[in-house]
Structure 1
Amino acid sequence: MKYRALGTQGLTVSSQGLGCMGMSAFYGATDEAESLATLDRALELGVTLLDTAESYGPFRNEQLLGKALVGRRDRVVLATKTGIEITDDGEPRGHNGRPEYIRHSLERSLRHLRTDHVDLYYLHRVDPQVPIEETVGAMGELVAEGKVGALGLSEVAPATIRRAHAVHALSAVQTEYSLFERSIEADGVADTLDELGIGLVAYAPLGRGFLSGAITSPEDFAPDDFRRTDPRFQGANFERNLDVVREVGRLAAAKGVTASQLALAWVMRQGAVPIPGTKRRRYLEENLAATDIDITAEELAAIEAVAPQGVAVGDRYAPELMTTLNG
């Protein structure tokens, strides 16, 4: 495993992390035994960045990681998120960036994770009713108390990044980024992160599994898989996006790697730390092999030709969720 600095605040992570959400929520049936085995294998292979959130479940994913990390908490950079309000009995209530909720949320996460600190604490989504300065100020107090190591934001606009960073230095911004989703290159987010020395953590770096080439029909999804509501996986959009996947697969085959590996290697070449989500060891091992893949300038140009910025057809979330992005 290779390691790299995430931002300029002193955080070092594996060059590829592990998104743990699907082990507990949103992507069909779960298997705790296989998820725990996958986490074991990730640590064996040198993965240090593990990504979760209290809203994944809710709480079940944090509890899973708490169980998995007993006796080896110091081996990982543990990242979780706040800002989507969840009642103590697990009911979602919308966004909440108020300082009192931020503190309550962290204390609850620490109990679920069976730890006394979180290495990287994200604001999951911006609360439009609370100035970002107030929210990040409260998060900064948790850093001062030793309960949080570093701060991050998720799905935020450049102006918000700047305002937050002025209150407390950020180590990371997490956003969707892949060959399918490159809007941060156009909207100023990527340039802002480079300027301020903030790391980029890419979730859904395989286009929610699309770029793996394993999805050939919307019927491949379980009835409760949220991708059934994702516009990119519906109707004519699906077929047009599948054409892009086939082209990426062709380039991958010519290089002697899988489509997933090529897509992940591309994300890493852009300077981001991808956190592909998987709940199975065989996919974990395939994904991590991408850390050893070099992409030449010629190959990069070929990828750009088949997957330029804006290539995906359809929004990346259903309409009601699109309003929560770029806060």
Structure 2
Amino acid sequence: MVKLVGKEVGPVGYGLMGLTWRRNPINQEGAFEAMRSALSNGAVFWNGGEIYGTAERNSLHLLNEYFTKYPEDADKVLLSIKGGCAPGELRPDGSKENIQRSIDECLKHLSPVKKSLDLFECARVDTNVPIEDTISYIDEYVKAGKLGGISLSEVSAKTIRKAAAVAKISAVEVELSLWSTQIFENGIAEACAELGIPIVAYSPLGRGFLTGEYRKWEDIPKDSNLHMFPRYSKENFDQNLVLLHQVEEIAKKKGVTAPQIALGWVLAHNGKPGMPEIIPIPGATRASRIEENTQPAQLSDAEFDELNGILSKFEAAGGRYAPQMSHHLEL
């Protein structure tokens, strides 16, 4: 079990992004069903964001509505919330004024059902403000008892070390999946292991690619946000599908599903020499998918090695993000 801010939350958490940040957000009844399913299946670590949706309707509004209807669940859930962007934009703003605005608004949206946040993180690093300053502004809320801890998102190993020199860092959120393994090569996993910081792995199913829901490019709805990501482009799709087919072969032999193998691979790093603790946060909008995700495959050493052997010969086609969105990654 992974511990975050002193609470056991493992092995699998739940990402709320898909409930509010999509072109056709799921309705409240459907969202509540998904959230109840996550909690009943042991996914008590929930990851949302002020930026997941609009200023008028985002994760915080949905969480308030949920906890108002189910007040008994408020203390069961450990919340990690992303913010720190300029109001109404996805532009990072790590200034004191904006950090205070962002955290205060998150707390206001959750009040009175939640009186504090467990974790807060800036979605991206603001290159115009030293990370040490931004962290010190967030840490004021930790010292005041309004935050349980500080998390980082999509940062470099260098930034992790700088931030950790200012205040305790409770988690680092990064993309990690079978087709996004960069943290094992760029020093992020190493830095987190050295500093004892757990990693929160977002998109552990490759934004749905590793679920097998899309068998050909034409299966992706025309209005889907997935068209923003190069790995889902028409020219890259078939090359990336090769990895899914190989994962499905292993899943078939083991009697589980491809998503369960993909999540099992992420979790199999826990306990390995030189590795930090990792908790994946798959997102889903259907209870059946959540039940599947919260039962990851237990991989043997041989199966883990087989997957790593596949990855050694596979290179995902296309970047993780479009060029205009990539300049804020791993800063």
1:259-298 equivalence runs, <5 A: 259-271=258-270, 272-290=278-296, 293-298=297-302
Q: Is 1:55–2:56 an aligned residue pair?
A: no
Q: Find the aligned partners of 1:307 and 1:213 in 2 and give their Cα distance.
A: 18
Shift in Å at residue 284 of structure 1? 0.3
Q: TM-score, normalised by structure 2?
A: 0.92
Shift in Å at residue 26 of structure 1? 2.7
Identity of counterpart residues, as a percentage?
Answer: 36
Q: Is 1:324–2:325 an aligned residue pair?
A: no
Q: Is 1:125–2:129 an aligned residue pair?
A: no
Query: Which range moves more in the overlay, 258-267 or 112-121?
Result: 112-121
Q: Find the aligned partners of 1:217 and 1:181 in 2 and give their Cα distance.
A: 20
Q: Which ranges of structure 1 fall in alignment gaps of 5 or more residues?
A: none
Query: Which range moves more in the overlay, 65-74 or 17-26?
Result: 65-74
Q: Deviations over 1:162-187 (max 9, x none)?
A: 00001001010000000000001100
Contact 1:151-1:172 at 8 Å conserved across structures: yes
Shift in Å at residue 310 of structure 1? 6.3
1:34 maps to which residue? 30
Instruction: For residue 180 of structure 1, give the secondary structure of its aligned residue in structure 2.
Output: coil
Q: Find the aligned partners of 2:90 and 2:175 in 1 and give their Cα distance.
A: 23
1:82 maps to which residue? 83
Query: Which range moves more in the overlay, 41-50 or 276-285?
Result: 41-50
2:11 maps to which residue? 15
Q: Which ranges of structure 2 fall in alignment gaps of 5 or more residues?
A: 271-277
2:64 maps to which residue? 66
Amino acid at match of 2:321: Y
Q: Flag the 1:117–1:182 CA change in 2: closer, same or farther, 3 A.
A: same
Q: Find the aligned partners of 1:31 and 1:238 in 2 and give their Cα distance.
A: 30
1:95 maps to which residue? 92
Instruction: For residue 202 of structure 1, give the secondary structure of its aligned residue in structure 2.
Output: strand
Q: Find the aligned partners of 1:257 and 1:186 in 2 and give their Cα distance.
A: 29
Shift in Å at residue 67 of structure 1? 1.3
Q: Find the aligned partners of 2:21 and 2:2 in 1 and give their Cα distance.
A: 29
Contact 2:136-2:167 at 8 Å conserved across structures: yes
Runs of 4 or more, structure 1, over 6 Å off, are none
Q: Flag the 1:309–1:113 CA change in 2: closer, same or farther, 3 A.
A: farther
Q: 1:299 aligns with which of 273, 298, 303?
A: 303
1:205 maps to which residue? 204
Shift in Å at residue 309 of structure 1? 8.1
Shift in Å at residue 311 of structure 1? 2.4
